[in-house]
Structure 1
Amino acid sequence: MALIMVKDDLVIRDPQLLNDRIFRCTGICPKKRNKIIFTFSVVYYTVHIVLGIWDFIDYIGIQDHMVHNLLESILTISTLCGMLVVAKRGDDLKTIIETMRDDMKREKLYDNIEEKRLYYYYNSISYNFCRYAPLVSFTTVVPMYIRPLIEMHGSKGVNGSLAYRLPFRSHMIFDYRTPSRYAIVYVYQFYWCMLPMIHIAEVGLIVNLALHCCAKVSILAHRIRNIQVDSTKSFKDGIRKTVIMHLEVREYYETLNNNFNMMLLIELMSCGVRLSLSLYFVLIKLDVDMAASINFMIHTFVVGAYLYVFSYIGEQVVYESQQLGDAFYNVRWVEVNSQERKALLMCMMNGQKTMYITAGKFYTFSLFGFTEKHSRGQLQSSQYFLTSLPL
């Protein structure tokens, strides 16, 4: 990995602060949970899912409506599942988030400017992702929310009638096609616009913790490459510090993978289906409704970006853990006495254990999986949905 050539006055920023602000809106912030807001959010999105499934049943046979409904329902279900995971794993997540923040505050995390640059490389990626991704996600859903108002204005200008279409697919148990009732339902659905923000905050949490793990492993490998072997005392001290840090990193990694493997499995499946449906809608509507096609092109790009982000952090975790094993192997062991070589051999054995970010503990995220295996899986998924949709 090439180091970023930057000034010595590097600023390490906490990327999780941006996610915490979004999590507070749903009451699932690991730092400080709000049960009232969390209960309201869960009930709201659960009701929306039930009404969305009801609406899907009402419109079976109408392809456009079914595709829209599936895209919204799948996103709502996957985000709600993520909220429940974050809430259920709150104590563990609070511990590793505090560990990450404590590592950023501790001066011992990086002993020199080279180690600080290694950490800054991953910290800047995390911070920029959490800074810009929510904005991109929000701009995707806002056109969907305001489009009914534009259509209503256009229809009124043509024949004097109003088209009372809701922004998001949902079955209403009462007749809302009056100005006052429609306004109430329209405002009610505004909270759904928070869903992409919540979803990106869940993704950002995984990205922050995984890249923090990569940064620590990168610093550890750098220390091993520069370990002093000219004296027994220096070598012992160096090995002892690296072993302690390696154990901390392994524990951090195990906690991260155990808490998020099911959420990543849900994300993997939902993103695959949403990507297939979005591409399907773009293909059939490209010459009919250009505005809708552009909107779904953006949606396709965002979903594909999610899959790439998961694959990227998985690739970096694998890469840095392999670099750690190589660093142990490249220690000048010939200059160490036989007794110390045994300790080095144990470190080499532990360093050969490659770390992975997995979905359900069976699918390993990597850039190879993103470009090869996952592409074939999405093609099969697309064929399945195209053949299963009624004509």
Structure 2
Amino acid sequence: MELMTTVSPSVEYGLRAIGVWPGTPCAILFEVFSISSMVVFQIFQYRYAIVNFGQEDLSLLMDALSVTFAYTLLLIKMIIFAFNARLLNDIIIRVVKDWEECDILDKSTMNRMAYTSRRFSNIIIFSHTISVFFYATGALLKQKGNNQTDPRELIVKMELPFEVESTPIYVTVLITQFLHQSSAAAMVGVLNSFLITLVLHACGQIDIMRQKFSEINEKKERDVTKDIMKTLIVRHQRIISFSKNIEALFSNIALIQFVSNTLVICCLGFLIVISIGVPGGSMMLIKSVFFYFVMSLEAFIYCFVGEYLSTKGEMIGDAVYESNWYELNPSQNRDILLMIIRSQKHLRLTIGKVANLSLKQFADIVKASASYVSVLHAMY
């Protein structure tokens, strides 16, 4: 069965829910509602962080900040997507046109990439959503283990403008927080999956281009027409342009992601370390361990796709060089030479145009977070 788009339905519906998918009815209303709900949550979260900043129990502040920073990151991503609607529209149009213009042989490669992206999308969205379940379970178990005189604990720590001692109000707030946190976690998974989808689509186009060059090896000189070389050059330019659009959309997001993931992983790592072997620490571990895994996965996704795209881009030059260019005429050889020179400028995703996204950057995030955890543990 053929897939007419690389984008998973779950990713498309998620982007429609925040009003950034091209052609979404009442897109502005969806954007305003989703962003305003995040802003309201953020106000109460930062109020809690400010009120409890000077308390002796550092674990409460780290627990609150870990979720608060994760919410802030999602809010910034949604705002960036809303302000880059035209760029997002160009990216989606390019994906659709690639599917419309591909031939039968190309579709097998594109279907393979589409199935891979959809599989990863579903896994990532599910893992982000299930992390909310574990986080909420740990919070409720901790509340059950507290004394009756202790104030009731919310799933997401907030400083609300009203009392939640009444059971109906408390239950209403818990349900609201759980639903909003679940939708926010799913949206984080959607945006991360969308990046994977775009990079896999670009890599699929690279594989098709490499396949075209392997077909040149089987042709004689007279069979390699000017139109064939022109088609390959145009495809190469489209891959470069598509990669630049991905870079323009996600570069600033990656910068905020780098800073936020370092802080969140630091907070969660501190909570995990101080909860091991402590009475009642199992509830905190239930809350934090899977959350820590998901945040580390989020950082790994960005760094891995940057490395993967760069590696795939290098393969274009290798495929061009390994073709039977020495059997072509001088005019075609000039085109081959220009493609080799252009492919030496690697396709890349950057962290705010400061550094390239790579697995080395992920290692730096982990090392920086571990260093901060050791400092906080020494202060605790």
- Asked if Structure 1 and Structure 2 have the same fold, meaning a TM-score greater than 0.5 normalized by the shorter chain, the answer is yes
Give the letter for the 2:125 counterpart.
P
CA deviation map 1:247-301 (0-9, x unaligned): 1111111111111100111112211221122111111001121132133111121
Do the aligned residues in 1 keep the contact of 2:5 with 2:95 (CA within 8 Å)? Answer: no
Give the letter for the 1:27 counterpart.
G
Partner in structure 2 of residue 349 of structure 1: 341
Aligned-CA RMSD value: 2.5
**Correspondences of 1:1-391 after superposition (within 5 Å):** 14-32=6-24, 34-60=27-53, 61=55, 62-104=57-99, 106=100, 108-112=101-105, 115-147=106-138, 149-150=140-141, 164-189=152-177, 190-227=179-216, 230-232=220-222, 234-288=224-278, 289-371=281-363, 373-383=364-374, 385-386=376-377, 391=380
1:305 shift after superposition: 1.4
Separation (CA, whole Å) in 1 of partners of 2:10 and 2:254: 21
Separation (CA, whole Å) in 1 of partners of 2:23 and 2:372: 39
Separation (CA, whole Å) in 1 of partners of 2:354 and 2:375: 23
Structure 2 segments unaligned to the other structure (5+ residues)? none
1:386 shift after superposition: 4.8
Separation (CA, whole Å) in 1 of partners of 2:248 and 2:189: 20
1:330 shift after superposition: 1.7
Give the letter for the 1:40 counterpart.
F
1:226 aligned counterpart, secondary structure: helix
Do the aligned residues in 1 keep the contact of 2:6 with 2:201 (CA within 8 Å)? Answer: no
Do the aligned residues in 1 keep the contact of 2:317 with 2:343 (CA within 8 Å)? Answer: yes
Report the CA distance shift for 1:186/1:300 in structure 2 as closer, same or farther (over 3 A): closer
The size of the alignment, in residue pairs, is: 373
CA deviation map 1:16-58 (0-9, x unaligned): 3211222333333344152223222222211221221111122
Separation (CA, whole Å) in 2 of partners of 1:340 and 1:34: 48
Identity over aligned pairs, percent: 17
1:206 shift after superposition: 1.1
1:133 shift after superposition: 1.5
CA deviation map 1:33-90 (0-9, x unaligned): 5222322222221122122111112212321110111101100100000001111111
Separation (CA, whole Å) in 1 of partners of 2:70 and 2:288: 14
Give the letter for the 1:219 counterpart.
I
Partner in structure 2 of residue 6 of structure 1: none
1:362 shift after superposition: 1.8
Separation (CA, whole Å) in 1 of partners of 2:18 and 2:3: 30
Moved over 4 A (4+): 9-13, 146-155, 383-387
- The higher-RCO structure (CA 8 Å, 6+ apart) is 2
Separation (CA, whole Å) in 2 of partners of 1:310 and 1:19: 17
Give the letter for the 1:99 counterpart.
R
Do the aligned residues in 1 keep the contact of 2:139 with 2:283 (CA within 8 Å)? Answer: no
Do the aligned residues in 2 keep the contact of 1:227 with 1:235 (CA within 8 Å)? Answer: no
Separation (CA, whole Å) in 2 of partners of 1:376 and 1:306: 16
Report the CA distance shift for 1:376/1:175 in structure 2 as closer, same or farther (over 3 A): closer
Do the aligned residues in 2 keep the contact of 1:30 with 1:86 (CA within 8 Å)? Answer: no
Separation (CA, whole Å) in 1 of partners of 2:302 and 2:377: 26
Report the CA distance shift for 1:10/1:184 in structure 2 as closer, same or farther (over 3 A): closer
Give the letter for the 2:186 counterpart.
M
Do the aligned residues in 2 keep the contact of 1:69 with 1:169 (CA within 8 Å)? Answer: yes
Separation (CA, whole Å) in 1 of partners of 2:182 and 2:22: 22
Report the CA distance shift for 1:386/1:38 in structure 2 as closer, same or farther (over 3 A): farther
Report the CA distance shift for 1:111/1:323 in structure 2 as closer, same or farther (over 3 A): farther
1:223 shift after superposition: 0.8
1:149 shift after superposition: 4.8
Separation (CA, whole Å) in 1 of partners of 2:20 and 2:375: 36
Report the CA distance shift for 1:208/1:273 in structure 2 as closer, same or farther (over 3 A): same
Give the letter for the 1:367 counterpart.
L
Segment of structure 1 superposing worse, 9-18 or 85-94: 9-18
Segment of structure 1 superposing worse, 351-360 or 330-339: 330-339
Do the aligned residues in 2 keep the contact of 1:356 with 1:364 (CA within 8 Å)? Answer: yes
Separation (CA, whole Å) in 2 of partners of 1:313 and 1:271: 16
Q: Give the TM-score normalised by structure 1.
A: 0.87
Separation (CA, whole Å) in 1 of partners of 2:289 and 2:159: 26
Do the aligned residues in 1 keep the contact of 2:262 with 2:366 (CA within 8 Å)? Answer: no
Q: Give the TM-score normalised by structure 2.
A: 0.89
1:347 shift after superposition: 2.0
